[in-house]
Chain A
Amino acid sequence: MTPDLWTPSDELLGLDPIALQKIQTPFEPEDLEAQGILLGDINDDDANEAAACLVLASLDDDVAGTETGEADDDEDLDDPDDGEAISADV
């Protein structure tokens, strides 16, 4: 393992005495939202599942394959045409 790519997370945490204390004297999290502190997260399992599937499908972009795909995505309604072609670079 290349050292600069794999700096141990625990070593970095150890440089912070307050963080170290929270690790050495562990405690369970409080229900912040019940206290009115909003974390700004998405509490929607349907949305998370859809986004997760998209991430997993895009993970395979790195894998060279010969998939042709059978999904028909050509039925989209276009916005009114602005007369410009889409560059092949996109």
Chain B
Amino acid sequence: MATQQLPQMQVLKHGAKSEAARALQAACNRRLRSRGLDAITVREDGVVDAKTLAAARKVAWALGAQKATYEAITDDGVIPIGVQRMIRNPGHRMDAQKSRGKARMSRLRAERKEQAKKARSSRQCAVNAFLAKVGTREQPTGSNGGGIITAMETYWKFGRVPWCGISAGYHAVKFGGVKGMCSDVASVQAITNHARACHSPYGKFQESPEGALPGSLVIIGGSGVHVGMLVKPLSGGAAKTVEGNTSFGPGGSQSNGGCIAARVRSAGEIYGVATMNYPG
């Protein structure tokens, strides 16, 4: 068998172009394909762009990298050599990494099985498109804009403003096909008022997420404070949500944190739910 020449591994930084980056992209794509994730493969052009960083993060997660390791890839815009080695040579992983990887793949397959059981509704398309952007951050930090965040604001003809309602409304309309939603979706209070008054396309206002369908808007933190999109109600009045302009965990600003994050909100954090009328 001919020996294949390996491009020398080097720390890969956002924006750089190299043969090492191309080799990593190819390895990422192999790992994604072997896990049935063909749909999220990346271009093998050797450029370390945001999509490459996101793909490396996903593959590192699937292969069992520690949370701090895979989060740092997109947080810092850097792919260290250790991560590249894991992605290009997964057979060399430590047992703990393999074990984490297996458990994660088990959860991923369970999620995919659950999605496959349901018909792909317009609600689910809205939620999935929002979830697919988890990890997005304002660029620069604190700017209320950058990349897809600016695109969502442009969609509603806003400048760089607090964007939790803007992002939820963008996904409901653009990916969920909700008709009749207006620019006042930027205001948490306006969402609440419309839902209380049952103004179409809002359905009704309810205090608990129980019984609400995915794609409903969840008012969080109090009246006029913050809004996200319901992924799934949980027991005890809690809910899985996807939110714009929050933080990845409880430590940072919950209502102006600059990130798109998937969260589990407790009953105590949830002020109410505005149900939404989606087509179909």
Residues of A near any B CB (own CB < 8 A): 1, 4-13, 16, 18-19, 22-24, 26-29, 32, 37, 39-42, 44-61, 65, 67-82, 84-90
- Known A19-B159, A76-B91, A88-B94; judge A12-B183 contact (CB<8 A): no
Can you list 11 A-B contacts (CB < 8 A)? A8-B225, A10-B187, A23-B187, A52-B128, A55-B132, A57-B110, A68-B106, A70-B102, A84-B85, A89-B82, A90-B60
CA distance A79 to B83 in the complex (A): 14
Contacts of B67 in A (CB 8 A): 61
CA distance A4 to B254 in the complex (A): 9
In the bound complex, do residue B94 and residue A71 qualify as a contact, i.e. CB atoms below 8 Å apart? no
CA distance A40 to B148 in the complex (A): 7
In the bound complex, do residue B96 and residue A88 qualify as a contact, i.e. CB atoms below 8 Å apart? yes
CA distance A1 to B131 in the complex (A): 26
Contacts of B240 in A (CB 8 A): 56, 59
CA distance A4 to B256 in the complex (A): 10
CA distance A57 to B132 in the complex (A): 12
Most chain B C-beta atoms within 10 Å of own C-beta, residue among A65, A73, A75? A73
In the bound complex, do residue B91 and residue A29 qualify as a contact, i.e. CB atoms below 8 Å apart? no
Contacts of B164 in A (CB 8 A): 9
Report the interface size class on chain B: 35 or more
CA distance A90 to B127 in the complex (A): 31
CA distance A66 to B30 in the complex (A): 29
Binds A, one of B3-11, B203-211, B272-280: B3-11
- Known A9-B188, A39-B151; judge A79-B88 contact (CB<8 A): yes
Most chain A C-beta atoms within 10 Å of own C-beta, residue among B9, B82, B162? B162
Which partner residue on chain A sits nearest B24 by CB separation?
A79
- Known A8-B188, A32-B155, A86-B94; judge A48-B252 contact (CB<8 A): no
In the bound complex, do residue B231 and residue A57 qualify as a contact, i.e. CB atoms below 8 Å apart? no
- Known A32-B154, A53-B112, A70-B106; judge A23-B90 contact (CB<8 A): no
Select one of B60, B82, B154, B231 contacting A39, CB under 8 A. B154
CA distance A1 to B208 in the complex (A): 18
In the bound complex, do residue B99 and residue A69 qualify as a contact, i.e. CB atoms below 8 Å apart? yes
In the bound complex, do residue B221 and residue A13 qualify as a contact, i.e. CB atoms below 8 Å apart? no
Least Cβ–Cβ distance between A25 and chain B, in angstroms: 8
